[in-house]
Amino acid sequence: MSERATVQFKVNGKSCAAEVEPRTTLADCLRHDLGLTGTHVGCEHGICGACTVILDGAAVRACLMFAVQAEGAQIVTVEGLANGDSLSPLQASFRKHHALQCGFCTPGILTTAHILLSEEPDADENRIREVLSGNICRCTGYVQIVEAVLDARAAYKQKTAASP
Amino acid sequence: MKAPRFEYVRPTRLEDAIGALAKHGSDAKAIAGGQSLVPMLAFRLAAPRLLVDIGRIPGLNQITVGGDGIALGALVRWRDIERSDELRRAHPLLVEAVRHVAHYQIRNRGTVGGSLAHADPAAEMPGIAVTCDAQIVVAGVRGRRTIPAAEFFVAALSTALEPDELIVEVRLPPWPQGRRWAFEEFARRRGDFALAGVALFYDVGADGRAANAHVGAIGVGDVPLRLAAAEAVLERKLLTEPLIREAGAAAAASVNPADDIHAPGEYRRALLGVLTERALARAAGLPLRESA
């Protein structure tokens, strides 16, 4: 029954393989099989957003798909945002604005906000709030989170302007 | 919770997917985006022995806009609809409704076919399908058939699909220029299933009167509903504030939502009336005083 299958995909630019049961979620595969525990698992049924990763350029809930479905995909987790030891502009903005307390929801918010600003560097406060409605934070009340994302837009606008 | 154990296949041909479903009957479930099915598995509300992943079957993710209407392949994702300039012109009501589906991350994975097959009574896509007289094309071992949306939704989470059948596409009739429309829903938190919602449209005749009024409701019954009584109020009439109030009252009177943990039935009924009024006012471009 439910034989294990080998699944291969790229995580943060690196080719990875794992042997998983079909029922293993992508979130559990990243954490347990690949040791990437930056992706947090909160509700396990798609409500809280803590497990959000970027799959083929789109923010998705890693608890709402099975690892076997990600075969061949390009995945970016929160571990893939920083450049070595230096924080990404979005992460630096979160630090500057004190946009986290316990930090449990933060990986999902960072991955979501990163892809949002990569695609929509002009996103306004309403748009940011609408997008982050899919990420539940029980500490901060979102004010500083939204401020941090708004403040990080400048870095993404520069990046967009610099790219050919 | 973790999902129960299951086996997994990922056919790349529609016939193979149908074959797997036919062989395993109700022990098998199709999965694509998984945004409804995976939570069902996590809650152990579903425990199929086999998941048939149809997500990589080519040709099912097309959006086609033509003179005879719009066809959305079963694998079209909400994000594809939200981002389609063509659909914004060709079916603005569809695009507006889809913006209300769950959250950003869910809209990146969830599919048209998945939402129709899951048949949540408060979901937007089934509501649009019923409101707009959509045709749902399904394929099974006995070939293809086309099911009118009004006959497709049988009960909450229950459809006319046979165990071996897959949704291939949904077809929406053409959307004439100048059509008036609005979508309104109310949920306590952004992204939750709506407590009630209204999708409606009407065409405006040369005399300025409403024609071909379609009023649909979600969240107020076992299945998405067409509200014939509210439509009858509008037919061949000029939209005025008193008429809008009358249509709202007719909408509320024509449903009988049950009490549940989210809201008393009477609350949903009253909400539907208010949402119908707001939607009609928006469609007609009329200011509306909030009722006391």
Q: Is the pLDDT of residue A164 over 70?
A: no
Contact check, Cβ <8 Å, B51/A45? no
pTM of the predicted model as reported, rounded to 2 decimal places: 0.96
Average pLDDT over residues A6-11: 98
Looking up tokens 């998405």 gives: B224
CB-count exposure of residue A130 (10 Å: 0-12, 13-18, 19+) = middle
B242-249: which pairs have CB atoms within 8 A and are 24 or more residues apart?
A: B244/B277, B244/B280, B244/B281, B244/B284, B244/B286, B244/B288, B245/B277, B245/B291, B247/B215, B247/B276, B247/B277, B247/B280, B248/B273, B248/B274, B248/B276, B248/B277, B248/B280, B249/B273
Instruction: Count how many Cα atoms sit within 13 Å of the Cα of residue B60 in the half-sphere of its side chain.
Output: 27
Q: Which residues of B touch A52 (CB under 8 A)?
A: 105
ipTM of the modeled complex:
0.95
Percent of chain A with pLDDT over 90: 91
Q: Which residue in B49, B77, B103, B107 has the most chain A C-beta atoms within 10 A of its own C-beta, making it the best mutation to test that interface?
A: B103
Chain B residue with minimum CA distance to A108 = B105
As a whole number of angstroms, the distance between CA A141 and CA A49 comes to 15
Q: Report the alpha-carbon angle B9-A112-B117, nearest 5.
A: 40
d(C-alpha B27, C-alpha A154), whole Å: 52
Q: How high is the pLDDT of residue B233?
A: 98
Instruction: Give pLDDT, residue A158.
Output: 86
pLDDT at residue A107 tops 70: yes
A2 has pLDDT over 70: no
Average pLDDT over residues A7-29: 98
Measured CA to CA in angstroms, residue B79 lies from B4, B87, B108, B181, B251 at distances of 29, 12, 5, 22, 31
Output the pLDDT for position B281.
98
Report yes or no: A136 at the B interface, CB cutoff 8 Å: no
Average pLDDT of A110-127?
98
- Chain B residues in contact with A44 by the CB 8 A cut-off are 1-2, 42
pLDDT recorded at residue A161: 72
The closest alpha carbon to A48, from A153, A134, A149, A152, belongs to A134
What is the pLDDT at residue A149? 98
Tens-binned pLDDT, residue by residue, of chain B (292 aa): 899 999 999 999 999 999 999 999 999 999 999 999 999 999 999 999 999 999 999 999 999 999 999 999 999 999 999 999 999 999 999 999 999 999 999 999 999 999 999 999 999 999 999 999 999 999 999 999 999 999 999 999 999 999 999 999 999 999 999 999 999 999 999 899 999 999 999 999 999 999 999 999 999 999 999 999 999 999 999 999 999 999 999 999 999 999 999 999 999 999 999 999 999 999 999 998 876 5
**What integer pLDDT is reported at residue A162 of this predicted model?**
67
Per-residue confidence band for A159, with pLDDT thresholds at 50, 70 and 90: confident
Q: Residues near B192 by Cβ (< 8 Å), separated by ≥ 6?
A: none
Adjacency order of strands within the sheet including A14-20: A14-20, A5-11, A74-76, A52-55, A58-61
Task: Note the pLDDT of residue B152.
Answer: 98
End-to-end CA distance of chain B: 45
Q: What tens digit of pLDDT does each residue of B123-142 get? A: 999 999 999 999 999 999 99
Strand partners, A60: A53
Interface test with B, best of A1, A26, A39, A66 (most B CBs within 10 A): A66
* Interchain CB contact of A112 with B (< 8 Å): yes
* Chain B residues near residue A1 by CB distance under 8 angstroms: 5, 7
Q: CA A87, CA A95: separation in Å to the nearest integer?
A: 9
Q: What is the mean pLDDT of residues A22-32?
A: 98
Contacts of residue B1 in chain A, CB cutoff 8 Å?
44
Q: Which DSSP category does B189 fall into?
A: S
Which residues of chain B lie closer than 8 angstroms to A59, CB-CB?
104-105, 108
